[in-house]
Amino acid sequence: MRLSRSRYAVGLALVLALATAGCSSPQATPSSSASVSGGTPSATASSSTTPSAAKPGAYVALGDSLAAGFQPGSGDLRESSYPALAASRLGALGSPLTLTNLACSGETTTSLTKGGRCEFPEGNQLAAAEAAIRAAGSDLRLVTIDIGGNDLLFCARGGKVDQACTVTGRKTVDANLPGILTRLRAAAGDKAQIIVLGYYNPWLAATIRSGSGVDAGASAAVVADLNARIAKHAKAAGVSYLSLDETFNATDTTPTTVQGKQLPANVAAICELTYACTFGDVHLTDEGAVRVAGTIVKAVQAAASP
């Protein structure tokens, strides 16, 4: 779908951008892996090593268009996606990883398990991830996943929340996500770190359009509820939940100046880290992908600390 470039179009176009972003075939093999010795991720894994170089571990990424690196007007740019940037940064810090990014734009918790959005030899993204995880064996170090946004976030259209839609979306997430995370944990075993990401609130951009924040406040409840469910199911499955609230200054309303305008810090973060304030598109900017990758790196480092 071509996204509207009308400035501050944070209504239906913003919602549909996440739900129906162009679906390119995900990289189901490590052929698109990041060579993570530092700098910009390359399109293929490096085969050259030095005697002192650590053996690369394996990193499997799952998710929707956010993990696929979707950019308005460009489609999926996996080499600059947050999983690729996280792998690159971890490699620069001495933990080289070979990335297999299976993310599929438009994926829901249902299509992740049943297929239909993107093509996988195994039939669906989750089965492909299980295969990649098992193929990695003892080399597996990290699994990340973002999923559920397309189940619930489209229930907020134009700042108005469709309550019947949210009831259905909640039931779908609750029905599917526990099984998804349990299967990932079973495939990965107990040693590999599995991180499930929460979502940010792109509807904060509505405050620029309305000036009242009422629309954004109503929609924010949908995001908060989704994140609470993801966190609950992550804990039950024995995987880590990673909030993006701090990354996006979610609760910080301190006035800050952006291009001569006074905006709350959380709104300014959404404007900087996504395209919500410019193209009415929920996806991450280059800087947004960098920040999310940095949040993942911190979580990996924290888990590795004694």
Q: What is the pLDDT of residues 14-23, one digit of tens each?
A: 434 454 455 5
Give the highest mean pLDDT range of 21-30, 120-129, 215-224, 250-259. 120-129
- Give the pLDDT mean for 207-227: 73
Distance CA 232, CA 221 (A): 16
Tens of pLDDT, residue by residue over 236-290, are: 999 999 999 999 999 999 999 887 889 999 999 999 999 999 888 999 999 999 9
- Give the pLDDT mean for 181-199: 98
Distance CA 155, CA 141 (A): 35
Find where tokens 């176009």 sit: 13
Find where tokens 């304030």 sit: 277
Report which DSSP code applies to 51. Answer: T
Please report which confidence band the pLDDT of residue 159 belongs to, taking 50, 70 and 90 as the band edges. low
Distance CA 296, CA 171 (A): 28
Residue type, 14: L
Q: Domains in the chain, ordered, with CATH?
A: 12-46+53-304 (3.40.50.1110)
Rounded to whole angstroms, what are the CA distances from 99 to 176, 272, 277, 285, 304? 25, 27, 31, 21, 19
Percent above pLDDT 70 for the chain: 79
Characterize the bridge pairing of strands 160-161 and 156-157.
antiparallel
